[in-house]
Structure 1
Amino acid sequence: MNGVSLAAGKPASGSVLRAGERRRPAGRLAAAALLAGGLAAAAWAGSAAAYTKSSITIDARSGLVLQSHNADARHPPASLSKLMTLYLTFEAISRGRFGWNTRVRISRYAATRQPSKLYLRTGQRIRVRDLVYGTAIKSANDAAAALAEKIAGSERRFARLMTQRARQLGMRRTVFGTASGLPARGQRTTARDMAILARSLIHHFPQYSDVFSTRFYRFGRRTFRNTNRLLRSNPRVDGMKTGYTRRARYNLVTSARKGDVQLITVVLGARTSRHRYRKTGRLLAHGWRTARNSAHLRKTPYGYVRIAMRDGVGGKPAGTKARRGGTAHAKAAVRTGKRKQVAAVPRRRPDNKPRIDISLASSAVAAPRIAPDRRQVRQTAAGSNANRRRVHGVQVGAFYRRHQARSALRRAMRALPKSYRNRASSTIVRKRVNRRSVYLARLMGFGLRQAQRACGTVRRRGIDCLPVSVRVAAKGVAGGAPAAKRVAGRSEKAKPRRYAIQVGAFDRYKWARRGLERAHKVLPERLAEGTSNRILAKRNRSRRPIYRARITGLSFSEAREACHILKRRSLDCMAIRTSASG
C-alpha cells in the first residue's frame, strides 16, 4: 500500500505525520481492509443468490425434494399456465373427445390474443396437433386460447376447469385465470405446485413427452424454435416450459435425465433470461450430486412432492376411506347440511335394508341414492319374461329437489358423446323414502355394455354414476318414458297433451318450415312421436304476415323438456298452452 507498511507497523519512508495526528495501528487497518473485502464478497454472493424469487428441485420418479428455496411463495405463473392447458388437452385426447388431427375453428377472441402468438386468423381451422406444438414450443397465446375454447367453450370456463384440476392434482396454492398465462386478477402459483404439475405430466402422459423435447417445429411456411435454450445447450435436458411477463419476470420449468435419474427443477422470478438458465444449471448439478448421496437422502428435511394417480383425477373419487364409510358420510352430510362431496360407493348391507349414500352429481346436499333391490329385480325377472324386456340406463344421482335432478341430468348429458346423447332419454323418477320424496335422475335407453361405458365416461367428468336396469313391457321400450312410469310404480295413464312449443316467428313461410325441420332433427323420437306441426299466420301492426312455427300434441313436462333440448342446441323455443281448437 502507498502510505502504510503492514509488515513493520511503522510509517513508510516519505510519509510524515501532521501536527495533532496520531498513528493508527497497522492491525486495525488490516482488520478494516479484510472486513470491507468480506462485506463486498458477501454482498456479491447475496446478489447472486437473490436474483430468483423461488426454486425447487425434485426427483421425478420418487418426488423427493432435493433442494427448496421459498418453494411455497406465491408468484404469477406467466406462460407456465400453458402446462396445465396442455395437461387438459392430453386428457381430452386420451378420453376420445377429439383427435390429434381434429380441426379447431379459431374464434375472434383467440385470434386477438396478445403475443407471443402464431398470428392465427379468425375463422381459420387448425389441427389440434399444430395448436399443441404451437403452445408448447412457440408459447403461442392464441393457440392456447383456441384449445381452451375447444375443451370448455370459453377461456373463463376453462380457467375454472384448470383450477379444479389443479386441486385434484394436489396444487393447493394455485389459481389460474387464463389458459395462456396472460395477466389476470388473482392468478398465482408456487414453485412446489409447478413441480407437482410437471411430475403429473411426466407420469400421466408419457406418450406426449416428445412435445416438450422438440427443438424446432414447422407450421405452414414458418419454422419455430423452442423457447427453452437448455434443449440446445444441455444434452441431458429433455423438455418442459419457459414463462415471462413483466410482473412475473423470467420463469423456467425443466426436466432432465442422467442415467436412471430424472430431475425436475422450477425457477421463478429470475431477473433476466440468462439468470434463469444459469440457476437451472446449478440446480441440476446439485441435484445429480444429491440424488446419489444416500446419507443426504436419509436426513433430508425437504420431504416429498406427491401427485394424484391418474385414475383419481378427473372425476373418480380419490381415497378409500370415503368409499368404505359412504353410508356414514351420507347421513352426516344430510344431517348437518354441509356442502361436502363424499365418494358414493356404499359398503355391503343385508338385503332387507336399503342402500343409501351421497351423490356427487350436485354441489348442493344431495338426497340419499336408492340402489335397486336385487331381490326385486330377480322377482320381476321370474315373471312374464315373454311379454317384458330389460331396459338399461344409468342413474346419476338422487336428490330432494327436482331441479337438482334436472341439473344433474344436464351435466351428465354434456359429459356423454354425441352418439350416446342421441340414444339417451332423460327420466326423473319420484320415490318416497322415510316419508320424504326423492327424485332419481336417470338416463335410459342403452344396452348393457353401453350403460357401463356411459357410466365410465360420466365418472371421469366428476359425476357419480350407477348402472341400472328395469323390465318394462315390450310396447314401452322404444319411448323410454313408459319405462320410467313402471319404475316409479305408477299406472300407465295418458297425459293430457294440451301444450305446444313454438320454435320461432318468421317473416316467410319457408323459413318457418325450415325452423320446424331443424327442431325435429334435434328432438328425440320419443318426444316427436305423436306430435303435429302447425304454422299459424297472423298479421302484425304493420299488416305484415308473421308465421309462427309450432309443434303441438305435447304434455307439460314434454314441452319443457323439448324446450330445454332445443335451447341447449342454441335454438329458440317457448312452451305454450294451446286452446281446444289448437
Structure 2
Amino acid sequence: MRSYNRHSFGVAVFLLFCIQLLTISSAQANPRYAAIVIDVESGDVLHSANADATRYPASLTKVMTLYMLFEALENGSMHLSQPMTVSSHAASMPASKLWLTAGSTISVEDAIKALVVRSANDVAVVVAEALGGSESGFARMMTQRAHELGMPDTVFRNASGLPDNGQITTARDMATLSIRVMQDFPQYYHYFSTQSFTYRGTTHTSHNRLLRNYAGADGLKTGFIRASGFNVATSAMRNDRRIVSVVMGGFTAASRDTHMADLLDRGFARLSMLQRGDWIAQADVLGDSMELPESPPASDLQLAAAPEAAGQPVGDERRLSFQSEMGVEMGSADDPIRALIAQAETPQSSGGNWAVQVGAFNDPDQARHLATRAADQLANLMRDLRVSVAESEGERRVFRARLIDLQENDAHSACNSLRAQGMDCMVVAHY
C-alpha cells in the first residue's frame, strides 16, 4: 500500500468513515455480496460484511475437495502419482473441464493442478469418486468434515460447485476453510499459487488474476455461477503477516478483484495501526459493505459498459475485455481515501468532451435509473454531474446511460470510483 504520514492517513480514514455514513443509504446493496477479512496470526476479523449470510460457494467448493484429497495424501491412502479412473459421469460434467474421456486416468498431482488452475468440474468428480465411491457420498463426507473444521453453515451437494440450491456456505466458513487448508497442509498449499500447467500438450492458465496483479497474494481460488456471482478467496502476505479474505457476489471478475485488492490493502493498513496501538484503529477503515447496483434483467441488457459483457460464456470465469480497455490497476489506486485527498488538492474541472458510460439498454427509463444511481454514488467526489440517456444509431434501439461533460482525467477518476463500488463502466469520448 502506498505510504501516508500518520496524521494524513488518520484524517483520511476519518473522512472516509463520514462519507460512508452519508452514502450508505443512497445505494442499493447487492443481495449476493458478502466479504470478510481475517488476520491469520491473531484470528482477528478486520472487516466483515454479510459474513454469516447464506451464499452459494460456486467453485470455492473445490477448496474443500482439495482439502479432502490432501487428507488422503497425508494419511497414505492416496499418493501423488496414483492414477484415478474417469467415469462416464465425470466425463459428462459441463465446462470448465479438462475434457477427460471415460475410462482414461489422471494422476492425483495432475488432478490437484487441474482443480486449482482450470477449475475442472470433470476432475472434481474423478476425485470425489476416488475418495467417496460416488459424488453424492463424497459430498456428505465433505459436509461432515466441514462442520468438524468449524464451518457450521456449509452444506455440500457436489464436489465441483456446479449449481445446486442445497449447496450453501458463508463468507466466514470459506475463510475458515482457507485458513485450515494452509495450516493443516502447508506442504501442499503451494499448489494454490499455480498459475498454469500443461496436461497432454495443452497449457491451461489460471483464472485467478489476483495472483499476478496483487503483490503478496499467494493463493487460493476463484468461483462463478450465475446464482452466486463472482467469488474469490485470497491469501496475501505483507511484512510477515498473513491476511485471508473472501469476497462473494461480484458482478464481474474485474470489479470483484479490484474490491478484493482494496480490502487487502485496507486490512494490512488496519493491522499496522493495531500493531502500533493507534486510536484510529478502532474505526472501521474498511466500511460496512460494498454497495452495488442491481443487475438489470438479462433480456434488457445490451451492453454492460462494453459489448463483450452482454454475452454469458460457459465456465468458471467470464473474460471481459473492458478490464484491459480501462487499464485496471489493482489496489489503492481506486481507494476512496485517495480520491477524496485528490479532490481537496485539485480544483474540479467540468465542461469536457468525455463521458463515463455505465450501460446501454432497450428501456430508456432503465438507462436513466442506472445513470442517476452512478451520479449519486459519485456525489461526494464530484458535484453537478450531468446524466445523459442518448439513443444510439442503428436498426435496434439502444439507450446509452452516461455521465457527460467531463474532463478526461475526471472521467477516469469517476469510473475508477464506480468500479471500486462494484459498478461496471468505461470512459468514452462524448461530443
Are 1:190 and 2:170 an aligned pair? Answer: yes
How far residue 42 of structure 1 moved from its aligned partner, in angstroms, is 3.7
Q: Deviations over 1:106-148 (max 9, x none)?
A: 0001000111000000000111111111011100000010000
Alignment equivalent of 2:59, drawn from 79, 82, 96: 79
Q: Deviations over 1:263-296 (max 9, x none)?
A: 1110011111111101101101111111112247
Q: Do the aligned partners of 1:57 and 1:65 also contact (CA within 8 Å) in 2? A: yes
Q: Distance in 2 between matches of 1:74 and 1:296?
A: 35
Match of 1:181 in 2: 161
Q: Do the aligned partners of 2:273 and 2:281 also contact (CA within 8 Å) in 1? A: no
Alignment equivalent of 1:275, drawn from 242, 246, 255: 255
Are 1:220 and 2:200 an aligned pair? Answer: yes
Are 1:134 and 2:134 an aligned pair? Answer: no
How far residue 233 of structure 1 moved from its aligned partner, in angstroms, is 1.1
* CA distance 1:184–1:50, change in 2 (3 Å): closer
Match of 1:402 in 2: none
Match of 1:125 in 2: 105
Q: Deviations over 1:71-123 (max 9, x none)?
A: 00100110010000000000000100011000111000100011100000000
* CA distance 1:297–1:57, change in 2 (3 Å): farther
Q: Do the aligned partners of 1:52 and 1:276 also contact (CA within 8 Å) in 2? A: no
The 3-state SS of whatever aligns with 2:41 is coil
Q: Distance in 1 between matches of 2:30 and 2:155?
A: 25
Q: Distance in 1 between matches of 2:31 and 2:164?
A: 24
Q: Distance in 2 between matches of 1:76 and 1:102?
A: 32
The 3-state SS of whatever aligns with 1:97 is coil
Q: Deviations over 1:444-485 (max 9, x none)?
A: xxxxxxxxxxxxxxxxxxxxxxxxxxxxxxxxxxxxxxxxxx
Q: Deviations over 1:363-401 (max 9, x none)?
A: xxxxxxxxxxxxxxxxxxxxxxxxxxxxxxxxxxxxxxx
* Residue identity in the other structure for 1:266: V
* Residue identity in the other structure for 1:246: R
Runs of 4+ in 1 over 4 A off after TM superposition: 49-52, 296-302
Match of 2:45 in 1: 65
Q: Do the aligned partners of 1:52 and 1:267 also contact (CA within 8 Å) in 2? A: no
The 3-state SS of whatever aligns with 1:292 is helix
Match of 1:46 in 2: 27
Identify which range, 180-189 or 69-78, moves more after superposition: 180-189
Higher RCO by CA contacts (8 Å cutoff, separation 6 or greater): 2
How far residue 44 of structure 1 moved from its aligned partner, in angstroms, is 11
How far residue 63 of structure 1 moved from its aligned partner, in angstroms, is 1.5
The 3-state SS of whatever aligns with 1:241 is strand
1:348-427 pair list within 5 angstroms = none
Match of 2:307 in 1: none
Q: Distance in 2 between matches of 1:243 and 1:264?
A: 16
Alignment equivalent of 2:180, drawn from 194, 200, 210: 200
- The higher radius of gyration belongs to 1
Are 1:209 and 2:189 an aligned pair? Answer: yes
Alignment equivalent of 2:81, drawn from 101, 104, 116: 101
Q: Distance in 1 between matches of 2:101 and 2:278?
A: 54
* CA distance 1:52–1:188, change in 2 (3 Å): closer
Q: Do the aligned partners of 1:59 and 1:262 also contact (CA within 8 Å) in 2? A: yes
Q: Deviations over 1:503-552 (max 9, x none)?
A: xxxxxxxxxxxxxxxxxxxxxxxxxxxxxxxxxxxxxxxxxxxxxxxxxx
Q: Do the aligned partners of 1:78 and 1:248 also contact (CA within 8 Å) in 2? A: yes
Q: Do the aligned partners of 2:32 and 2:229 also contact (CA within 8 Å) in 1? A: no
The 3-state SS of whatever aligns with 1:257 is strand
Q: Distance in 1 between matches of 2:221 and 2:186?
A: 16
How far residue 43 of structure 1 moved from its aligned partner, in angstroms, is 7.9
Alignment equivalent of 1:159, drawn from 139, 156, 175: 139
Q: Distance in 2 between matches of 1:51 and 1:236?
A: 30
* Residue identity in the other structure for 2:120: A
Q: Distance in 1 between matches of 2:48 and 2:42?
A: 16
The 3-state SS of whatever aligns with 1:46 is coil
The 3-state SS of whatever aligns with 1:68 is strand
* Residue identity in the other structure for 2:238: K
How far residue 52 of structure 1 moved from its aligned partner, in angstroms, is 6.2
* CA distance 1:51–1:228, change in 2 (3 Å): farther
Q: Distance in 2 between matches of 1:96 and 1:132?
A: 16
Q: Distance in 2 between matches of 1:105 and 1:301?
A: 54
* Residue identity in the other structure for 1:279: H
Are 1:285 and 2:299 an aligned pair? Answer: no
Alignment equivalent of 1:261, drawn from 241, 244, 248: 241
Q: Do the aligned partners of 1:66 and 1:300 also contact (CA within 8 Å) in 2? A: no
Q: Deviations over 1:45-89 (max 9, x none)?
A: 836x75861100001222210000010010011001000000000
* Residue identity in the other structure for 1:273: A
* Residue identity in the other structure for 1:46: A
Q: Do the aligned partners of 2:222 and 2:232 also contact (CA within 8 Å) in 1? A: yes
Q: Do the aligned partners of 1:291 and 1:297 also contact (CA within 8 Å) in 2? A: no
* CA distance 1:258–1:154, change in 2 (3 Å): same
The 3-state SS of whatever aligns with 1:114 is coil
Q: Do the aligned partners of 1:51 and 1:275 also contact (CA within 8 Å) in 2? A: no
Q: Distance in 2 between matches of 1:112 and 1:73?
A: 32
Unaligned runs of 5+ in 1: 1-37, 303-582
Normalised TM-score (structure 1)? 0.43
Q: Distance in 2 between matches of 1:63 and 1:219?
A: 38
How far residue 185 of structure 1 moved from its aligned partner, in angstroms, is 3.4
Unaligned runs of 5+ in 2: 1-18, 285-431
Normalised TM-score (structure 2)? 0.58
